[in-house]
Amino acid sequence: MKTLNIQESGLISPLDIYEFGSGSPRVTFTAGIHGGEVTGIYVAERLIEYFTRNPPCKGSVKILPRCNPTATRCLQRRSPFDGEDLNRIFPGSAQGSLSHRIADAVWRETADADYLIDLHCCGQHGLPYLLGIYDESDKARALAGQIAMPIAVQSGGTAGQLFTDSCRRRGQAAIIIELPSGPSSGAINPGVAEQALDGLLSFLSRIGVAAGHEKDLQPAFYGPLLDICVPESGLWTPQACRGETLKAGQVVGTLDGKPVYAPEDGFIMTVLPIGYIFIDDPWVVTYVVKRP
């Protein structure tokens, strides 16, 4: 393991880098770009444990488990130093504020990756999924297609993210894996972490980097995440569950006793639990629609 100390105006952010094996294929994992997303960090650390015991059969694996360690200490998405969202400022700058310098270092450390997988978390109430710009990048689609997890979602493609900019500027195969968190801030979701590890070890076995973990599971590809919103504040009571198929016109829950309907056929990704909803809350249910 080596540590790069990234510095600006007396502030220091250590970037730990673990490397196993050498040569191609080169697989790189990043985690903790959003500090509070600890299930992703846990998966990265489990991969470090795995490759410490089982060096790559061929090629190399690089793991950056805690890209934004002070944000992780504070269990928050953004840097407590400069308020930046690290996953909006790639490729970063060696002359900018601390977050820009971290982005620059992560960008350089991931430059040679044939496969780049960035581990994130998507809140407590959702399902895990592979997120990529599949409509722009055949390489990203091919990468997601080899990971043994059931759901691949099209990204909105916001620029400045490690995976979007790696696909567009460097022609790499890069995606995010979104993993639900545990039931409170800083809580790991161990079941989801095991699922992701199995899916990743299956991919690593398929490309010859690991051995003996291949699973017969491939993701189905869906369009972007869509929201079902409510028109006013009130008591939201869900009737639908995540992982269910959605039918147009189906009642997904009620707001103050009045039914809330599904606008189209789809697959439910996230359902808010019973609670008071406010007019500015973005959604009560999110869903996706299958793509050919």
Interacting residue ranges for Zn ion, rule: CB under 5 A: 34, 37, 120
**Token pair listed for 63:** 């793991």
Helical residues (DSSP H) of 180-223, grouped into ranges: 190-206
Of the two residues 37 and 84, which places its CB atom closer to Zn ion in the complex?
37
Give the bridge partners for 280, in sequence order.
Answer: none
Closest approach of Cβ 37 to Zn ion, in Å?
A: 5
Closest approach of Cβ 239 to Zn ion, in Å?
A: 29
Residue 262: which residues within 8 A CB-CB, separation 6 or more?
A: 228, 240, 246, 247, 248, 249, 250, 251, 252, 285, 287
Of the two residues 131 and 210, which places its CB atom closer to Zn ion in the complex?
131
Of the two residues 88 and 247, which places its CB atom closer to Zn ion in the complex?
88
Entry field: residues in the chain: 292
Of the two residues 155 and 205, which places its CB atom closer to Zn ion in the complex?
155
Closest approach of Cβ 9 to Zn ion, in Å?
A: 26
C-alpha span between 238 and 90 (Å, rounded)? 38
Query: Is there a contact between 165 and 86 (Cβ–Cβ < 8 Å)?
Result: no
Q: In this structure, are strands 234-238 and 275-277 parallel, antiparallel, or unpaired? A: antiparallel
Closest approach of Cβ 164 to Zn ion, in Å?
A: 13
Of the two residues 34 and 62, which places its CB atom closer to Zn ion in the complex?
34
Residue 28: which residues within 8 A CB-CB, separation 6 or more?
A: 61, 62, 63, 64, 109, 110, 113, 115, 116, 117
Closest approach of Cβ 118 to Zn ion, in Å?
A: 8
